[in-house]
Amino acid sequence: MIDLTSDTATKPTPEMRRFMAEASVGDEQRREDPTVNELQDMVAELTGKEAALFLPSGTMCNIIAYAVHCRPGEAVICDRTAHPNISEGGGPAVIAGVLMRPLNGERGVFTAEQAAAVFHEGDTHRSRTSLISVENTSNMGGGKIWPIERLAELREFANAHGIRMHMDGARLMNAVVASGVAADRWGALVDTVWIDFTKGLGAPIGAVLAGSEAHIARARRLKHAFGGAMRQAGIAAAACLYALDEHIERLASDHANARRLAAGLARIPGIRRPAREPQTNIVFFEPAPGGPSAAQLVERCARRGLGLGAIGPRIRAVTHLDVSAGDIDQALAIIAEAIAEG
């Protein structure tokens, strides 16, 4: 089975498992787990922030950051395809009590002008806008990297209006590796930023939220309130530490595999060629009109041992640690066969 459904499909490698088994541990809830503490320090340094907090998932990073930055009834500006807006079970409303102000960005990226059009400082009728939330890379935008100048313009806008900025960095390290812009340069433009270790970095559990001492102190309290505080969590944090050392540079080969896939798809009759070369590890493509639907094609590929995801009329393929260049060639052969099944 070649699994291109998501980069969450990665399994911990034998070396990662060994590193986990040997981790020093303590009570994380009392801040006595040395491996968790080391991971938090490393991510704070990596992102150029004062402090960081180990959390079970990226979803919890988003919701805790929203609750740190916003009071119930306040509004968050984001792209309409942002993960918290479409894939977090309504958590922003249920848990942080915020309203989402989704914008129609281009591949997940929006402008300061668009933000200005929905911003409000709040009055008796209207919600105060307190946060801008960006996703880097943009998942539904096909792994698009935020242009850093665009983010800097948003930061200026946010500063002028006294609002905060949060970066969903589920795939921040993909952006770093592909763009050469270091994590702390992205971090300098936002108040909070997090990294997911369970996507392309290949760990089984964990994400780390970074920010100022004050923001992370509030986040720690919310982590406890949401039941996210753990005990000997160093076992899980060790996998993340291992990934920081061993699995970042290799993201470049995931990006090369995504480009290989996109180039191969462009040569298959019946596939609408991807509009542009992928910047990172996500490729969206579509069957051409007159052929099978996206769901049908995905089903035909699944029968042949290739996992893909249908999202409406589009198909998403994600490259990762457990996918080789040879797997991509095999995936292309399967797609060509499946589309011709007729």
Ligand X SMILES: *Cc1c(COP(=O)(O)O)cnc(C)c1O
Q: Which residues contribute to the site for ligand X (CB under 6 A)?
A: 57-59, 62, 83, 135, 139, 168, 170, 196, 198, 207
- How far apart are CB 38 and ligand X at their closest, in Å? 21
- How far apart are CB 336 and ligand X at their closest, in Å? 29
Taking each helix axis as running N to C, give the angle between helix 325-340 and helix 251-265, from 0 to 180 degrees, rounded to the nearest 10. Answer: 30
Question: How far apart are the C-alpha atoms of 95 and 218, rounded to whole Å?
Answer: 15
Residue 120 Cα distances to 76, 131, 171, angstroms: 11, 11, 30
H-type alpha helices, 82-206: 83-86, 91, 112-118, 148-161, 172-179, 183-187
- How far apart are CB 52 and ligand X at their closest, in Å? 16
Closer residue to ligand X, CB minimum distance, 85 or 130: 85
What are the structure tokens assigned to 98, written together? 């915020």
Half-sphere exposure of 226 (CA within 13 A, CB side): 23
- How far apart are CB 168 and ligand X at their closest, in Å? 5
Contact by Cβ (8 Å): 106, 131:
no
Closer residue to ligand X, CB minimum distance, 207 or 334: 207
> From the CB of residue 304, how many other CB atoms can be counted at a distance below 10 Å?
16
Closer residue to ligand X, CB minimum distance, 251 or 338: 251
Closer residue to ligand X, CB minimum distance, 69 or 300: 69
Q: Which strands sit side by side in the sheet containing 309-311, from one edge to the other?
A: 271-272, 282-287, 314-318, 309-311
- How far apart are CB 55 and ligand X at their closest, in Å? 9
Closer residue to ligand X, CB minimum distance, 37 or 174: 174
Q: Which residues are within 8 A (CB) of 256 and not within 5 positions of it... i.e. 6 or more apart?
A: 325
Closer residue to ligand X, CB minimum distance, 65 or 332: 65
Question: How far apart are the C-alpha atoms of 295 and 313, rounded to whole Å?
Answer: 8
What are the structure tokens assigned to 106, written together? 């281009």
- Residue nearest ligand X (C-beta atom): 58
Closer residue to ligand X, CB minimum distance, 239 or 332: 239
- How far apart are CB 84 and ligand X at their closest, in Å? 7
What are the structure tokens assigned to 39, written together? 């991971």
Taking each helix axis as running N to C, give the angle between helix 172-179 and helix 251-265, from 0 to 180 degrees, rounded to the nearest 10. Answer: 80
Question: How far apart are the C-alpha atoms of 202 and 239, rounded to whole Å?
Answer: 8
- How far apart are CB 97 and ligand X at their closest, in Å? 19
